[in-house]
């Protein structure tokens, strides 16, 4: 069964304190891994797509990396405005183009950055 | 600013009411989605429309009825809901059904009394 596990559930950082969020997954065949950011009471905002092990994507203070079993979202020198819940989702080749739901979401990591 | 617009932002309804949630996108996307999200949980897929046809219905109760009048609009008709249906309802769109790059609206917060 496909699974996506994110850790930690919650992370509190001081402004400027770099850290990483983890997304581990179990799928038959990974077609893509996606990171989203969600602010309270709002819809998720798409951040990155990663397709193959070794791939990296960057946007401002965020960098996403991918291995064969997990992805990391590295946050460098975070600011209070980076506070949000970060969701990871995977797309399984087995489900691709089928009649079932497309994305499997993890439960998210709630990041709080204090000034 | 999101390019997927949802109305209303907040809705309170009784269990016997009929109401609708509306969603609009002008990005030329051909797939549109309804998700339901409870507090501290990930979004849960309800329906997918691809080229204005319903392609996925994730065993959603019939008290939720989706409609896609055209490629830019998506509605969710609500009738005889239960208090446990209270949640944030998210609309999303994408270029095609099989991409994981979804563009979400800000959601409609539904409370069922």
Average pLDDT over chain A, rounded to an integer: 92
**Is the confidence at residue A100, as pLDDT, over 90?**
no
Strands of the sheet with B4-7, listed across from one edge: B4-7, B18-25, B73-79, B64-70
The pLDDT of residue A102? 73
Which residue in A41, A102, A110 has the most chain B C-beta atoms within 10 A of its own C-beta, making it the best mutation to test that interface? Answer: A102
Task: Measure CA of the first residue to CA of the last residue in chain A; give whole Å.
Answer: 41
**Min distance A6 CA to chain B CA atoms (Å):** 11
Residue B48 near residue B92, CB atoms below 8 Å: no
Task: Name which of A45, A101, A51, A85 is nearest A71 in CA terms.
Answer: A51
A86 prior amide bond cis, ω within 30: no
- Nearest-5° Cα angle at B58, B55 to B60: 115
pLDDT tens-digit readout, B1-12: 559 999 999 999
Average pLDDT over residues A33-48: 96
Q: Render A34-78 in DSSP notation, one character per residue.
A: EEEEE-TTS--EEEEEE-STT-EEEETTEEEEE-SSEEEEEE-S-
Q: Render A82-107 in DSSP notation, one character per residue.
A: G-EEEEEEEEETTTTTSSS-S-EE--
C-alpha B103, offset from chain centre: 12
Tell me whether residues A41 and B58 touch, CB distance under 8 A: no
The pLDDT of residue A74? 98
The pLDDT of residue A97? 59
Tell me whether residues B101 and A49 touch, CB distance under 8 A: yes
Task: Name which of A6, A78, A84 is nearest A38 in CA terms.
Answer: A84
The pLDDT of residue A92? 83
Residues of B with CB under 8 A from a CB of A: 2, 4, 40-43, 45, 48, 55-56, 58, 88, 90-92, 97-98, 100-107, 109
Element holding A21 (H helix, E strand) = strand A19-26
**Min distance A76 CA to chain B CA atoms (Å):** 24
Positions of chain B with pLDDT under 50: none
Average pLDDT over residues A93-104: 67
Q: Render chain B in DSSP notation, one character per residue.
A: --SEEEE-SEEEE-TT-EEEEEEEE-S--SEEEEEEE-TTS--EEEEEEETTEEEEE-S--TTEEEEEEETTEEEEEEES--GGG-EEEEEEEESSTT-S--EE---EEEEE-
Tokens 């600011």 label which residue? Answer: A79
């Amino acid at each position: 069964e496909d699974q996506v596990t994110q850790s930690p559930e919650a992370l509190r950082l001081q402004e400027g304190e770099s850290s990483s969020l983890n997304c581990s997954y179990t799928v038959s065949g990974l077609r893509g891994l996606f990171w989203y950011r969600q602010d309270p009471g709002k819809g998720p905002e798409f951040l990155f797509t990663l397709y193959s092990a070794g791939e990296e994507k960057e946007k401002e203070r965020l960098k996403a990396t991918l291995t064969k079993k997990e992805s990391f979202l590295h946050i460098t020198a975070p600011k209070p405005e980076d506070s949000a819940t970060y969701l990871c989702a995977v797309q399984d080749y087995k489900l691709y183009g089928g009649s079932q739901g497309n994305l499997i979401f993890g439960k998210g990591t709630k990041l709080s950055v204090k000034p | 600013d999101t390019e997927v617009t949802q109305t209303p932002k907040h809705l309170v309804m009784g269990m016997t009411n009929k109401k609708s949630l509306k969603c609009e996108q002008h990005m030329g996307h051909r797939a549109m989605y309804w998700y339901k999200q409870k507090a501290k949980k990930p979004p849960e897929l309800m329906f997918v429309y691809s080229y204005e046809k319903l392609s996925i219905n994730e065993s959603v109760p019939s008290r939720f009825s989706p409609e896609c009048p055209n490629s830019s609009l998506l509605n969710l008709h609500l009738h005889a809901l239960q208090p446990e249906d209270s949640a944030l309802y998210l609309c999303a769109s994408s270029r095609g059904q099989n991409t994981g790059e979804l563009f979400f609206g800000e959601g409609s917060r539904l409370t069922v009394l």
